[in-house]
Chain A
Amino acid sequence: MTTTTTTRAATRPQPLAGPGSLRGGRRRRETLYQWAFLLPAAAYLILFFGYPVVKNLVMSFQDYGTATFYTGEAPWVGFANYAKVLGSSIFTTAALNTALFTAGSIVGQFVIGLALAVFFRKRFPLSGVLRSLLLLPWLLPLIASGAVWKWILDKDSGALNRFLEAIHVVPTGVPWLTSTSLALIAVVGVNIWIGIPFNVTILYGGLQDIADELYEAAALDGATGWRAFRYVTWPMLRPVVNVVLVLGVVYTLKVLDIILALTGGGPANASQTIATESYALSFQQFRFGEGSALGNILVLISLVFALVYLRASRRSVED
């Protein structure tokens, strides 16, 4: 995580440079060493994080199109790109879809993930094997799972509809990916499937840290089952839950590949999010200025949640 690296790197020199008992020359050399140790990390951050972010920011204020790549000319247009993407009719749809997609995915992933994590806390035969099988969606390339899900969800010959028809739940194929009212739901469903392993892994780790004595003590006081969860598990798990949720939001906001693989943002923009629209502007229509403006708006939204994460993790460390 880059954010933690920066804060750690930035705070480290202070205690070392602090004491005034050292003599001047040695102290200067010490400082020099400190900076030398910082250099690789700083160079890495500037090259792979600083440069792209700055470039993207600059690009969003320029008329950056196909010609720019050959001529190098990108006229400064101020906030025109932002005005254009914010004023376009797709923006409202995309923003709403992004909110629904993120909220739906997070709630689904978290609830199912937590249920599974609590379930696997009990040891039973093959529990280890089953728990590792749960990681499968995480290990598959997203494009591959996207292609398989596209086939499963197909209206006419998809496995899901065949199954639903066989058990007489629906009379004809449900247009999961081609109905404007279902496409977003289908995409959220697949994204939940992808996100469960992350939630289970982190929450299971959190559960392992809760001492058994607490449950024993709670049981003596009459708290078992649901009450044990409510009064022991949940309060103890809170710091982990905060981290899982905030990270989940940041990851989900920028999901791109699975939507592109399943619906391409369609039908009629029904599953278009800010991320997919930004991609389409930049890499399909080659309007890089507008694409990066929209991308920056997404970065800004992510940043808000990243700050929440930083505060949450700092609080959990202090606890």
Chain B
Amino acid sequence: MKRTSLITRSGLALAALALPAVLAGCGGASTTSSGSASTISVLDYYNNEPDKSFIGDALNQCAQKSGVTLDRQTVPGSSLIQKVLQQASSKTLPDVLMLDNPDLQQIAATGALAPLSDFNISTDGFAQGVLQAGTYNGKVYGLAPTVNTIALFYNKDLLAKAGVQPPTTWDELKADAAKLTSGGQYGVAFDANATYEGSWQFLPFMWSNGGDEKNIATPQTAEALQLWTDLVKSGSASSSVLNWTQADVKDQFVAGKAAMMVNGPWQIPTLDKQAALNYGVVQLPVKTAGQTEIAPLGGETWTVPQTGNKAKQAKAAEIVSCMNSDQMQLSMAKQRNTVPAKTTLAAQFASDNPKLAVFTNLIKTARARTGELGADWPKAATKIYTAIQTALTGKASPSDALQQAQNNG
């Protein structure tokens, strides 16, 4: 019977997390005790092709330079942190650990990571947002070789047919989206689901208008939420945005069911495979012409966990440093449609890859999600998506929804 095996999930799952703590004495000691540093373990979440190979090749090149062999493990993105917590409690953390940038400070706060300054890794030339994301309590714990953000993708054919230009302001966005909506086709698609992904998609609208995550119950944030609410209420965006992931949004765009979408450059390979799809990318509209768009910074950092083995940590640091070298930043950026984290490299990269120019431009002023609140960001992100869902379902006005969410932390 399948159902009996599900006995109180939460209890069992919690136990599964806690068990390693007890069993640690049985088998987990090998990584900390062995002195040799010939094999370096790596944990990351690039478990799908082509990223899996791109990152794997880069790691192997770095390992070769340092004269070590790699023992690499990839897990799905959603289970990375659970895996890291398990390993932290059983003292089996990998030598090199990849962390999504908004998670870095939370893990650094536990004490499980070593500051990169211990290994004399240079942090010069990295974009402000990248350092912001990698810094906890004044020390840099992780560096991202390449970064990304989100922008507005538009279907050139559909826009030409409707006779509209890509929008630059919110009013234009609303007007264009309305004109582009007919039959089974919606003007715009975005991700407003009840996860951190929904909050991430909302940030550029909120930040560019002067909103702030410290207190979301402000008129500026309410105006941004009003825009999203208007788009859904007027029917220019499907109410399904409440349940879509960024991948679902991309599917809608590819199928021609959305003329515009908010999404990131990691979708470019899939979009390019569609021969019939003729698309362009512009930065996200701002409320009034002249405002600067403040984009949220995306991308994964490489860190050196505190494993207790100094020799291995030194080798691991070499690999982290190598992964962030100029050459690696450029090659990975090109392969993975991301932007090099160093500003000078990014400028050079933009001129060579005009398709990514919009993203490269946005990274200069991009803000890290954890820049202000650090390890407390998840709480703010939860408030933001809660307010989005409340307003978009019509349960409360945008300003009331934000006020409720802010009070209910």
Instruction: List the B residue with the shortest CB-CB distance to A57.
Output: B11
- On chain B, the residues within 8 Å of A157 by CB distance are 184, 257
A155-B239, A254-B8, A286-B85 known; A56 and B393 CB under 8 Å? no
**Does the CB pair B395–A180 fall under 8 Å?**
yes
CA of A256 to CA of B9 in the docked complex: distance in angstroms? 8
CA of A74 to CA of B85 in the docked complex: distance in angstroms? 14
A155-B239, A179-B393 known; A67 and B378 CB under 8 Å? no
- On chain A, the residues within 8 Å of B12 by CB distance are 52
- On chain A, the residues within 8 Å of B10 by CB distance are 56, 254, 256, 275, 278-279, 282, 291-292, 294-295, 298
Is the C-beta of B209 less than 8 angstroms from some C-beta in chain A? no
Is the C-beta of A302 less than 8 angstroms from some C-beta in chain B? yes
| CB contact list, B206-247 vs A, under 8 A | 238-243
Kindly identify which residue among B14, B112, B184, B243 contacts A288, using a CB–CB cutoff of 8 Å.
B14
Instruction: List the A residue with the shortest CB-CB distance to B106.
Output: A66
**Does the CB pair B11–A56 fall under 8 Å?**
yes
**Does the CB pair B14–A70 fall under 8 Å?**
no
Which stretch in A22-30, A229-237, A266-274 binds the other chain? A266-274
Is the C-beta of A122 less than 8 angstroms from some C-beta in chain B? no
| CB contact list, B343-391 vs A, under 8 A | 378-379, 382, 386, 389-390
- On chain A, the residues within 8 Å of B186 by CB distance are 156
CA of A56 to CA of B18 in the docked complex: distance in angstroms? 9
Is the C-beta of A69 less than 8 angstroms from some C-beta in chain B? yes
A252-287 vs B, Cβ < 8 Å mask (1 yes, 0 no): 001010000001111111100001001100111110
**Does the CB pair A156–B9 fall under 8 Å?**
no
Closest Cβ of chain B: how far from A95's Cβ, in Å?
Answer: 16
A51-B15, A268-B393, A269-B389 known; A285 and B240 CB under 8 Å? no
Closest Cβ of chain B: how far from A110's Cβ, in Å?
Answer: 15
CA of A270 to CA of B193 in the docked complex: distance in angstroms? 13
A67-B109, A266-B242 known; A254 and B6 CB under 8 Å? yes
**Does the CB pair A56–B240 fall under 8 Å?**
no
Is the C-beta of B137 less than 8 angstroms from some C-beta in chain A? no
- On chain A, the residues within 8 Å of B3 by CB distance are 198, 251
| CB contact list, B36-51 vs A, under 8 A | none
Instruction: List the A residue with the shortest CB-CB distance to B305.
Output: A70
Kindly identify which residue among B8, B18, B82, B89 contacts A295, using a CB–CB cutoff of 8 Å.
B8
- On chain B, the residues within 8 Å of A51 by CB distance are 15, 19, 22
A256-B9, A264-B194 known; A156 and B109 CB under 8 Å? no
Is the C-beta of B159 less than 8 angstroms from some C-beta in chain A? no
**Does the CB pair B194–A266 fall under 8 Å?**
yes
Instruction: List the A residue with the shortest CB-CB distance to B389.
Output: A268
CA of A179 to CA of B11 in the docked complex: distance in angstroms? 31
Is the C-beta of B86 less than 8 angstroms from some C-beta in chain A? yes
CA of A55 to CA of B88 in the docked complex: distance in angstroms? 18
- On chain B, the residues within 8 Å of A313 by CB distance are none
Is the C-beta of B107 less than 8 angstroms from some C-beta in chain A? yes
Is the C-beta of B35 less than 8 angstroms from some C-beta in chain A? no
- On chain A, the residues within 8 Å of B184 by CB distance are 156-157
Instruction: List the A residue with the shortest CB-CB distance to B113.
Output: A70
Is the C-beta of A59 less than 8 angstroms from some C-beta in chain B? yes
Interface of A is mostly: helix
Interface of B is mostly: helix
| CB contact list, B299-323 vs A, under 8 A | none
**Does the CB pair A268–B8 fall under 8 Å?**
no
> Looking at chain A, what size class is its interface with the partner chain?
35 or more
- On chain B, the residues within 8 Å of A1 by CB distance are 4
A268-B390, A295-B10 known; A71 and B239 CB under 8 Å? no
**Does the CB pair A70–B111 fall under 8 Å?**
yes
- On chain B, the residues within 8 Å of A70 by CB distance are 88-89, 110-112
CA of A70 to CA of B52 in the docked complex: distance in angstroms? 28
- On chain B, the residues within 8 Å of A275 by CB distance are 9-10
Is the C-beta of B13 less than 8 angstroms from some C-beta in chain A? yes
Instruction: List the A residue with the shortest CB-CB distance to B90.
Output: A69
**Does the CB pair A266–B389 fall under 8 Å?**
yes
- On chain B, the residues within 8 Å of A256 by CB distance are 6, 9-10
A89-B408, A269-B389, A302-B8 known; A178 and B86 CB under 8 Å? no
- On chain A, the residues within 8 Å of B110 by CB distance are 66-67, 69-71
Most buried by A among B19, B111, B184, B240: B240
Is the C-beta of B195 less than 8 angstroms from some C-beta in chain A? yes
A82-93 vs B, Cβ < 8 Å mask (1 yes, 0 no): 000000111000
Closest Cβ of chain B: how far from A80's Cβ, in Å?
Answer: 15
**Does the CB pair B390–A56 fall under 8 Å?**
no
**Does the CB pair A156–B240 fall under 8 Å?**
yes
**Does the CB pair A52–B15 fall under 8 Å?**
yes
| CB contact list, B141-186 vs A, under 8 A | 184, 186
- On chain B, the residues within 8 Å of A302 by CB distance are 8
**Does the CB pair B243–A263 fall under 8 Å?**
yes
CA of A251 to CA of B18 in the docked complex: distance in angstroms? 24
**Does the CB pair B2–A138 fall under 8 Å?**
yes
CA of A314 to CA of B13 in the docked complex: distance in angstroms? 31
| CB contact list, B73-107 vs A, under 8 A | 81-82, 85-86, 88-89, 106-107
**Does the CB pair A69–B389 fall under 8 Å?**
no
Is the C-beta of A154 less than 8 angstroms from some C-beta in chain B? yes
Other 11 A-B pairs with CB < 8 A, given A279-B9, A285-B378: A155-B240, A179-B393, A251-B3, A254-B8, A256-B10, A266-B194, A268-B386, A268-B393, A291-B10, A291-B14, A295-B8
The 3 closest A-B pairs by CB, nearest first: A52-B15, A295-B10, A268-B389
Between A and B, 10 residue pairs with Cβ closer than 8 Å are A56-B15, A68-B89, A70-B111, A175-B239, A178-B241, A251-B3, A251-B6, A267-B194, A282-B13, A292-B14
